[in-house]
Structure 1
Amino acid sequence: MTASDVVQTIRLEPDAGLVKSLGAHHTLDSAIADLVDNCLDAEGTKVAVRLLTDSDRLVQVEVFDNGNGMDAVAADQAMTLGHQREYGENELGHFGIGMKAASFGHADVLTVWSSRYGASPVGRRIRRADFSKDFSCELLSENAASQAEAQRKRVTGAGRGTTVVWSELRSAFRGASTEEARTWMAHAERSLRSHLGVTFHRLIAKGLLDIEILVDEMEYADEAIGAPVKAIDPFGYAKSGHPDYPKSVIAESDGQRIALQCHIWPPKVDIPGFRISGKSGERYQGFYIYRNDRLLQVGGWSEVANSSAQRQLARVVLDDETAIGSFLTMNPEKAGLRFEPIFRDALAHATATDGTTFDDYLKAAEACYAEGNRRISRRQPVITPEKGFAPKLRRSIGTELPLLRSDSLNLQWKRLPEGEFIDVDFGNSTLWLNSRYRYLFAPERGSLNDAPVVKALLFLLTHKVFEGVHLGPKDKDNIALWRSILGAAVQAEEDMRGE
């Protein structure tokens, strides 16, 4: 092939039909996270997400921010497929298709309202069916844009900024049952809160970003107040599971070095951060890749290691902007990255300053998990907690201790003499608590599973008594001791509160 083979250069414009495939890999969670990225790039600090329903079914999604906003030129560019402005090194935008892909993955109509300081408010709307034919975009009236600005000010406290609206949704519950629709909506909100909480946990924790989510019927939404998204730190353990970790392992190739901070969670810890979206922490072992404090990948070994139950305590932070584009390739959805062969080769030879290899790290995580299981296996079985124990408390006891399935223990309230707090009903495997003092530990009253802290402590104190065949002299002496001390304690509690 030579230069003389070329007779002409022509321009091949993209076919508008490609719009139909936009956002195919976006979940609702990842799509809304992509819109939050745009808010951050616009220097926004507050984002309000509204999931609006009609008869309990999701019909519209709105995302408001208090960022810099856009004028008419910037709005046209934002609605142009593939337009790539000059991104700053701290910005999260990358491909120029994020908002369109995120939106058309779930809705047939995308409307954008925006206001920039010193410019008239603007509105733009693109309909997926028309956009996929000729990239057409509707220009909306300044009067309507002004009304949208006023609404944004009510929601975020600032008229300046941008509002993205998805309507004519495709990806929402369409079943006939109202109860099923409510359940779907509850799951969707919980999943979104968790996803945004972990994806932006650093920014939320630093006070740089405030996200709130509101779920309500459309006609009442303007009167409602959203609830804040809380940061979920996937490295938020109090103490490392291994004294030598976290530790940095350095991968190097062609003179480029990246640090992998290797963490080992403590075994048998079941808290938000280890457990994410209500799912077991075992699912979240692997790499956590950040870009400008935004989490791009939540776990997964990306084919450089195998996932296993024994490695569930292992989590690795990669927080190096230079790695993306060389060692790693980001996808448009910003949901996971492709690990290039150069990274896999570098990882095979990566070491810490003390000579620890990545393989050594994985073995240390496996050993920590095995040791944690050995410690648990030495614990003696306990009676099964039953009535009066909150489900979460029962699960926690069952996780930490092997259970005797042959019998169960109930903790319930009833009226006892003044000055007494507990009564042991050995024959019926029930520990009675004096309902005279229930208000001290369960102000709401009425719930079978109330006062979980008090009940957990009493279970740990008394369970061995109920596990015996009969009450021996030592058991009877312990019961008398507990009744005396706890009776005095509950009266002191009441006195201190001035009741």
Structure 2
Amino acid sequence: MAVRRSWFDAPPSAARLTGSLRDIGYDFPTAVADLVDNSISAGAQRVGVELVFDPNNSYVLIWDDGTGMGPTGLLEALRFGSRREYNRNELGRFGLGLKTGSFSQCRRLTVVSRTAPKQPNIHVRTLDLDFIERVDSWSVLADEESDAVEHAKRILSDGPGTVVAWENLDRVLPDRYAESGWGRRRLSTLAKKTGEHLGMVFHRFITGSHGATPVAISVNGDKLEAWDPFATSERHTQTLPREVFEIESDEGSADIIFTGYVLPPRDQFSSPERFERMSGPLKWNRQQGLYIYRANRLVQFGGWNGLRGIDEHTKLARASIDFDTDLDETFQINVAKMSVVLPATLKNMLERPIHDLCVRADAAYRQAASASEERRKPARTTSAEGVALREIGIALKAAVLESSDLAGFKDALATFKARHPDLSKSLGL
């Protein structure tokens, strides 16, 4: 017998909910990156970010030359929790990023879009938090006008695309700084940080590697250079064979690809400047570890996700983990696409390849340190013997990688250290 149910609609207060959604956890660069995801999904070949300082009227534009949206598409894009379906490996996920990313930085969001290549029909739709709070309704304003909107229309005068305008930048430029020199410097600093972040997060798209469709990205007119965390263009970078692990999910089984890299020490880089650039925003020690990609988009960079600790001797070790959007639930991707949680089954699978990678990185680090130390020492006959011993130690460590009995080797090594501590130190073990 069917149970009869009754219910009432209880829509949330627009004024209160939009306010709370401003604090999901974005900073300025990650908010911009979430909008660039939408541009790439729209088939854009060019994406631009412009931070325009104008006393008491500054604004930010994120534009692309993608397919654009008509009035219906614009309205759906501005809905909190869009009803649209996402294709496999499309960078969007929850239908919230455009709104939550934007309102984390501003109070007025306008989307300006054009779809027809020959007819300059431009559609303008706006979400204004001040208006929403006043009427307490999920209201979208049509055909609003402002300096930012006029700028957006000029960008779209040549063809289809979309421009997102952020105005009333209360989180970026508080009122007391809106017309000051500090405000101008603030936007300049954010432009630099945003360029660095986008060059890292979308480096595969900028270079067109790993099957990603090439996209040219610029910030304030400056074309971004990709920041490849693995320095694959460097001659002395070691690339380990990739490994494929199968993971079960609600959608069925899916593959995860692990590839380890040992970056060269300073004296083996093509230039000191290149070595410094590859240290990354967190610098060498904290940039070691896992770089996790969702559909070629970097969502986490650096750290070992609890699998091991940060160590000076393994700072040259970095590894990529690639998964498709089929595994979003498994990796617990958050709205801002800034963090993931490695499933327990995958952590178990990764222990061996990460250990192998770190052994190689440790050997490369110690070999470079020994060579540097010997160069600083006055010449003497015993130095050659010391170098030879350390090279033997490195060879022993490398042999671990070929051993099928890793646990047995580690036990033997511990016994050797206990009985011959001085020799063990000379071998670099």
TM-score range (shorter-chain normalised) is: 0.7 to 0.9
Opposite residue 88 of structure 1, the aligned amino acid is: N
1:264 is matched with 262
Identity %: 27
1:476 is matched with none
Q: Distance between the aligned counterparts of 2:326 and 2:260, measured in 1? A: 17
The answer to whether the 8 A contact 2:244-2:257 is kept is yes
1:445 is matched with none
After superposition, the C-alpha distances for 1:336-395 in whole angstroms (9 at most, x for unaligned) are: 2122333323434xx5xxxxx43232233233223222222222289xxxxxxxxxxxxx
The answer to whether the 8 A contact 1:53-1:60 is kept is yes
- Does 2:287 correspond to 1:284? yes
SS at match of 2:81: coil
2:375 is matched with 379
SS at match of 2:88: coil
- Does 2:190 correspond to 1:184? no
1:246 is matched with 240
- Does 2:308 correspond to 1:310? no
- Does 2:107 correspond to 1:112? no
* CA gap 1:146/1:378 in 2 versus in 1, 3 angstroms: closer
The answer to whether the 8 A contact 1:236-1:273 is kept is no
The equivalences for 1:122-201 within 5 A come to 122-131=123-132, 133-140=136-143, 150-153=153-156, 158-174=158-174, 180-201=182-203
Q: Distance between the aligned counterparts of 2:327 and 2:277, measured in 1? A: 25
CA-CA distance at 1:273 after TM superposition: 5.6
CA-CA distance at 1:190 after TM superposition: 1.6
CA-CA distance at 1:195 after TM superposition: 0.6
Q: Distance between the aligned counterparts of 1:120 and 1:235, measured in 2? A: 45
CA-CA distance at 1:103 after TM superposition: 0.6
- Does 2:279 correspond to 1:275? yes
After superposition, the C-alpha distances for 1:388-431 in whole angstroms (9 at most, x for unaligned) are: xxxxxxxxxxxxxxxxxxxxxxxxxxxxxxxxxxxxxxxxxxxx
2:336 is matched with 333
After superposition, the C-alpha distances for 1:253-275 in whole angstroms (9 at most, x for unaligned) are: 45654221111111225626622
Q: Distance between the aligned counterparts of 1:347 and 1:94, measured in 2? A: 27
Q: Distance between the aligned counterparts of 2:144 and 2:44, measured in 1? A: 25
After superposition, the C-alpha distances for 1:38-80 in whole angstroms (9 at most, x for unaligned) are: 111111111121101135x892101121111111100110111
Match of residue 364, structure 2, among 361, 368, 373 = 368
The answer to whether the 8 A contact 2:148-2:165 is kept is no
TM-score, normalisation: structure 2: 0.73
CA-CA distance at 1:146 after TM superposition: 9.7
Opposite residue 247 of structure 1, the aligned amino acid is: P
Opposite residue 36 of structure 2, the aligned amino acid is: V
* CA gap 1:116/1:179 in 2 versus in 1, 3 angstroms: closer
Q: Please, what is the CA RMSD of the aligned residues?
A: 3.2
| Greater fraction strand | 1
The equivalences for 1:452-467 within 5 A come to none
The answer to whether the 8 A contact 1:252-1:258 is kept is yes
1:36 is matched with 36
The answer to whether the 8 A contact 1:121-1:142 is kept is no
After superposition, the C-alpha distances for 1:190-234 in whole angstroms (9 at most, x for unaligned) are: 2111111111111111272112221xxxxxxxxxxx121111111
SS at match of 1:336: coil
CA-CA distance at 1:111 after TM superposition: 1.0
Structure whose CA Rg is larger? 1
1:46 is matched with 46
* CA gap 1:153/1:121 in 2 versus in 1, 3 angstroms: closer
Q: Distance between the aligned counterparts of 1:146 and 1:264, measured in 2? A: 48
2:222 is matched with 227
The answer to whether the 8 A contact 1:114-1:123 is kept is yes
Q: Distance between the aligned counterparts of 1:285 and 1:3, measured in 2? A: 58
2:21 is matched with 22
Q: Count residues with an aligned counterpart.
A: 355
The answer to whether the 8 A contact 1:59-1:169 is kept is yes
2:384 is matched with none
* CA gap 1:358/1:78 in 2 versus in 1, 3 angstroms: same
* CA gap 1:371/1:204 in 2 versus in 1, 3 angstroms: same
- Does 2:63 correspond to 1:64? yes
| Greater fraction helix | 2
CA-CA distance at 1:112 after TM superposition: 1.1
Structure 1 range deviating more: 141-150 or 195-204: 141-150
Match of residue 358, structure 1, among 351, 354, 360 = 354
CA-CA distance at 1:148 after TM superposition: 5.9
Match of residue 212, structure 1, among 207, 210, 218 = 218
Q: Distance between the aligned counterparts of 1:323 and 1:114, measured in 2? A: 30
The answer to whether the 8 A contact 2:152-2:165 is kept is no
Gaps of 5+ in 1: 215-225, 352-356, 383-499
After superposition, the C-alpha distances for 1:278-308 in whole angstroms (9 at most, x for unaligned) are: x422221222122332222222222233223
The answer to whether the 8 A contact 2:247-2:256 is kept is no
Q: Distance between the aligned counterparts of 1:173 and 1:146, measured in 2? A: 19
CA-CA distance at 1:28 after TM superposition: 0.6
* CA gap 1:280/1:146 in 2 versus in 1, 3 angstroms: closer
SS at match of 2:72: helix
The answer to whether the 8 A contact 1:104-1:110 is kept is yes
Q: Distance between the aligned counterparts of 2:173 and 2:195, measured in 1? A: 18
Structure 1 range deviating more: 169-178 or 130-139: 169-178
SS at match of 1:324: helix
Larger RCO: 1 or 2 (CA < 8 Å, sep 6+): 2
CA-CA distance at 1:319 after TM superposition: 1.8
Opposite residue 137 of structure 1, the aligned amino acid is: V
CA-CA distance at 1:248 after TM superposition: 2.3
* CA gap 1:265/1:58 in 2 versus in 1, 3 angstroms: farther
The answer to whether the 8 A contact 1:247-1:263 is kept is no
